Amino acid sequence: MKGEGKSKQKLAVWKFASCDGCQLSLLDCEDEILAVSEAIEIANFPEATRRVLPGPYDLSLVEGSITSQHDAERIRQVRAESEYLITIGACATAGGIQALRNYRDVREMASVVYASPQYLDTLETSTAISDHVPVDFELRGCPVNKQQLLEVILAFLHRRKPNIATHSVCVECKLRGNVCVMTAHGTPCLGPVTQAGCGAICPAYDRGCYGCFGPMETPNTAALTAQWKAMGVSDPDILRAYRSFNGYAEAFKTEAEKHE
């Protein structure tokens, strides 16, 4: 098929330190992926295709966190080649679970996993993409919600703001008709301080939210912590709850430090 008129906008998908799950979310859009590939030129997406078109790119989706000097340099190159740069997932937006290294001596950690850590190029910290380059939009989640990912791509194509709610998981629980697991079952839940987007799945499966979409806009972590303490949750457990998949997001990081 040739002669489609104007040329399509070019999409690139980049990976840094991550599990691949967020970019896989795009391939998991089984009903939409072929239509997406018709609306936008998939110009650089190594997990899906060996064909690489040269930059610049109209939209870059960036997965993963910065954990090596090589990657700290590569993200600058990606930014330079991208008109819009959108980070996808907890690693790219907050450093990810691997940001747990930020509280440890990385050389000592390396020696736990690797017999010869001197071979490794690794930084002391795992940090968000926005700590290194300007980012146009951050999509949360560990992993991202694929419908939200499609919304972000669609919004970009139409040059409008993505319609992504910043309220808490509590709102999604009400929308879904979940019983509150804190009130009804006494289960500690991070839902009141965590951004919506997952569809409140944990409470729907009788467990407390574990914060994989990161802090909501203006979270009241102090109030939630007080409630958890009243329920008998220990400081080490509160610390671990905040210091997990989004533990290096500012609001969760600060709250966790109060329980060290």
Partner 1 sequence: MSEKEIRTIKVDYLARVEGEGAMHVKIKDGKVDDVKLKIFEPPRFFEAFLQGRRFEEAPDITARICGICPVAYQMSACHAMENGAGVRVEGAIRELRRLLYCGEWIESHGLHVFMLHAPDFLGYDSAIEMAKDHRELVQMGLRLKKIGNDIGIVLGGREIHPVNVKVGGFYKAPRKRDFLKLVEDLKWGIEAAEKTIQWCAGLPFPDFDQEYEFVSLRHPDEYPMSEGRIVSNHGLDIDVSEYEEHFEEEHVPYTNALHSVLKERGSYFVGPMARFNLNFDKLSPRAQAAAKAAGLDGQCLNPFKSIIVRAVELLYAFEEALRVLENYERPEVPAIEVDPSGKTGFGATEAPRGILYHRYGVLGNGDIRDAKIVPPTSQNQKTIERDLYRFVPQYIDLPDDELQWHCEQAIRNYDPCISCATHFLKIHREEVS
Binding site for partner 1 (CB under 8 A): 1, 15-25, 27-28, 30-31, 33-34, 37, 42, 46-52, 67-68, 70-71, 96-98, 100-101, 104, 106, 108-110, 112-116, 119-122, 126, 142-143, 198, 201-202, 204-207, 210, 212, 237, 240, 244-245
Tokens representing residue 15 in the block: 């990976």
| Longest alpha-carbon distance in the chain | 67
| CA distance linking residue 243 with residue 227, whole number of Å | 18
88 vs 223, which CB is nearer to partner 1?
88
38 vs 136, which CB is nearer to partner 1?
38
CB of 11 to partner 1, least distance (A): 11
Q: How far is CA 104 from CA 108, 116, 218, 248, in A?
A: 8, 18, 28, 13
CB of 231 to partner 1, least distance (A): 17
87 vs 98, which CB is nearer to partner 1?
98
Q: How far is CA 123 from CA 16, 17, 72, 106, in A?
A: 13, 12, 9, 8
CB of 156 to partner 1, least distance (A): 19
Instruction: Kindly give, in sequence order, each residue whose CB lies less than 8 Å from that of residue 73, ignoring residues fewer than 6 positions away.
Output: none
CB of 181 to partner 1, least distance (A): 10
